[in-house]
Amino acid sequence: MNKLLFFILLLSANTLLAQREAYSWIYGNCDLEFNNCQGVYGTAIIKFNDDSIESIRRVNFPGSFSIHASSISDSNGNLILASNQESIFDSTGNILVNFLNNDNLENLLSYRQSAYFLKLREETDVYYFINDKTIQLTPPPTQLYLTNRTSRTYITRIKVDDQGYEILNIDTLMRNDTVVGGCMAACRHANGRDWWVFKSTFNQKEYLRGLLTPYGFEFDLYYSPAINAFQPGGFNQFSSDGSRLFHYIPSQFRKMQIYDFDRCTGELSNFREMDFSNYIPFPPYDFTPFVLSPDASKIYMGRSNPGPEYSYQNIQVDVETGQMTVVADSVYVPCLTPNLKWVVSGYQRVPFTLINKLNVFTQPNELGNGSGRIKDLYSLFVDGFRTEPIEYANHLLGPIDGSSCDTLGLNDETAIKKIEQFSFNVFPNPGKEEINFATDLPMPVKLIIRDSQGKTVIENTFNQKLFSISTGLSELNAGIYFVELQNQRKQVRLVKKWMKIE
């Protein structure tokens, strides 16, 4: 393994103290019936350490792992739970949850897609599995295909401890509506414990935004600074430091949308767009996932090229300049490794053969040929390494220490302290000409009201537990606003939504 090691700058102290919940990947869509592979199914586990690949071992799970597979590991990087969207498995391949049992009851055409295993950074053994299911309500005439579907978001919770596995709940419905679209992405909250979850929709402006805390999961419609226009779902990924959200719109659009992201408030801002139509042919390859380099300065994508000799390539796009470079041939969709060191992809010596080699970019932050590609570095034992990026959240991301959003009292020495609970009420909500506030926060408090794009529209300081405002409200347009109360001494930041009506 020594030949795989390479040196990079050390990450922050928060990162060094982080756990390795994403450090084992399970893969393989090879099975006896369709691919003449040996064993029940051809599956394998890649285990990473902080610097390299630690091991690759063959396993026999009763299911294939390809599109939308996800997994989570323990603090040492050993596999704990894995899902291929049809089931959740324990570390040895036993089925803990069979989602097909629930799906078949509806007698409707449905499929599960984007999913994440998340774990709150607390002394708890509970693992959250958040996934999305799209349901075709009626037989889909072509022109009605997009309008006869509904999207459901579910949470399943599993407790894992020395006593074994305990299923706490299966498929608790969090949202059910016609706002359907693309894949989810998750980012650690600035407090270092909770998780933001974003899911794009068929409208460029609309996202579904959720916040997972020990007290529940709120998942609501959120309006980004993008334009109000149709899009075919697409793919989402947060930068490793959580400061940006990238959203790729495939098919005939082929655009990369980039937002700045506030890990404290969950707000998107500073919208910009890159045109990828010169990089990605359409047709034939109109469904192109992507991953970011560790510092998010480069975008890696797989693309196919039309012609008599159909071929695949990996391309790299520089975020700042837009420069595109073909960095590898005969490779599939790239993946950022969970130790945030490499970009890897399956390698094919011959097009249309199954993937059983690992292609590694050892310096993925570097431009073009400086990315340090090593071709078919590893034998993977099992065919079928990834047709989409492996879905995992960045569990290495720690809190923003010292910020007013760090309400958990996290620092490098004390781990997690007991949360001091505060609250406030906003009424009437919806409202128009006046807003009343009641809070148990210590005085004084700062009031900040932001619009849907994160712009501050009202800011003031109060020294009463009951107060109201009216000045400035008449100038605000109807819509959703975010009302925030801060107490600097306690370093507490509380946020609620408020709706302005005509």
**Look-up: residue for tokens 């993946």?**
335
Query: Measured over all CA atoms, what is the biggest interatomic distance in the chain, rounded to whole angstroms?
Result: 75
Instruction: Please calculate the CA angle 299-302-305 and round it to the nearest 5 degrees.
Output: 130
33 φ/ψ angles, rounded to the nearest 5 degrees: -70, -45
What tens-digit pLDDT sequence spans the chain (502 residues)?
322 222 222 222 222 334 578 888 888 766 555 555 555 566 888 999 888 889 988 888 888 887 778 899 988 889 999 998 889 999 988 999 998 876 665 555 667 778 889 998 766 789 999 988 877 666 554 444 455 677 888 899 999 988 899 999 998 888 887 667 778 899 999 888 889 999 988 888 889 899 998 888 878 889 999 888 888 778 899 999 999 999 998 888 889 999 999 998 899 999 999 999 888 887 766 567 889 999 999 999 988 876 656 678 899 999 999 999 999 987 878 889 988 999 998 876 655 556 678 889 999 999 999 999 998 888 877 766 766 667 778 888 888 766 556 555 443 333 333 345 677 889 898 888 899 999 888 889 989 898 766 678 899 999 999 999 999 898 898 888 888 888 766 667 777 778 888 8
Concatenating the DSSP letter of every residue in 194-237 gives -EEEEEE-SBTTEEEEEEEETTEEEEEEEE-SS-S-B----EEE
3-state class of 427 per DSSP? strand
Residue 178 · residue 151 · CB < 8 Å: yes
Nearest CA-CA partner of 165 in 84, 64, 78, 95: 95
At 406 the pLDDT is 59
**Close Cβ partners of 376 (under 8 Å, ≥ 6 residues apart):** 347, 349, 357, 358, 359
**Close Cβ partners of 476 (under 8 Å, ≥ 6 residues apart):** 451, 457, 500
At 39 the pLDDT is 53
At 327 the pLDDT is 94
3-state class of 431 per DSSP? strand
16 φ/ψ angles, rounded to the nearest 5 degrees: -65, -25
At 287 the pLDDT is 63
Residues 158 and 169: their CA atoms lie apart, in Å, by 7
Residues 174 and 253: their CA atoms lie apart, in Å, by 30
The number of C-alpha atoms within 13 Å of 268 and in the hemisphere containing its C-beta is 27
Nearest CA-CA partner of 406 in 488, 497, 496: 488
**Look-up: residue for tokens 């999961």?**
217
Question: Residue length, the chain?
Answer: 502
The encoded tokens of residue 350 equal: 């011959």
Burial 457-490 (b: 16+ CB within 10 A, else e): ebeeebeeeeeebeeebeeeeeeebbbbbbbeee
The number of C-alpha atoms within 13 Å of 501 and in the hemisphere containing its C-beta is 7
At 349 the pLDDT is 60
Which parts of 320-430 fold into alpha helices (H)? none
pLDDT in tens, 1-24: 322 222 222 222 222 334 578 888
At 80 the pLDDT is 92
**Look-up: residue for tokens 């949202």?**
175
Query: β-strand 445-450 against 53-59: which pairing, if any?
Result: unpaired
User: DSSP character for 363?
Assistant: -
Residues 199 and 183: their CA atoms lie apart, in Å, by 6
At 149 the pLDDT is 72
Concatenating the DSSP letter of every residue in 92-141 gives TS-EEEEHHHHHHHTTSEEEEEEEEEE--SSS--EEEEEEEEEEE-S---
Neighbours of 372 (CB within 10 A): 16
Would you list the domain boundaries of the chain? 424-500
- Report CA 48 to chain centroid distance, whole Å: 20
Residue 362 · residue 342 · CB < 8 Å: yes
Residue 42 · residue 35 · CB < 8 Å: yes
pLDDT in tens, 378-433: 887 776 676 666 777 888 888 876 655 655 544 333 333 334 567 788 989 888 88
3-state class of 351 per DSSP? coil
Instruction: Describe the strand order of the beta sheet including 324-329 as a list of residue ranges.
Output: 290-292, 298-305, 311-318, 324-329
Residues 268 and 453: their CA atoms lie apart, in Å, by 7
Nearest CA-CA partner of 89 in 160, 22, 187: 160
Nearest CA-CA partner of 495 in 458, 487, 485, 428: 485
Nearest CA-CA partner of 169 in 96, 235, 247: 96
What sign does the dihedral 329-335-336-338 (CA atoms) show?
A: negative
User: DSSP character for 100?
Assistant: H
**Close Cβ partners of 228 (under 8 Å, ≥ 6 residues apart):** 203, 204, 205
Neighbours of 21 (CB within 10 A): 24
**Close Cβ partners of 384 (under 8 Å, ≥ 6 residues apart):** 27, 28, 29, 30, 35, 42, 64, 66, 346, 354, 355
Residues 264 and 221: their CA atoms lie apart, in Å, by 18
Residues 360 and 371: their CA atoms lie apart, in Å, by 9
Residue 238 · residue 245 · CB < 8 Å: yes
- Looking at domain 424-500, what is its CATH homologous superfamily? Macroglobulin (MG2) domain (2.60.40.1930)
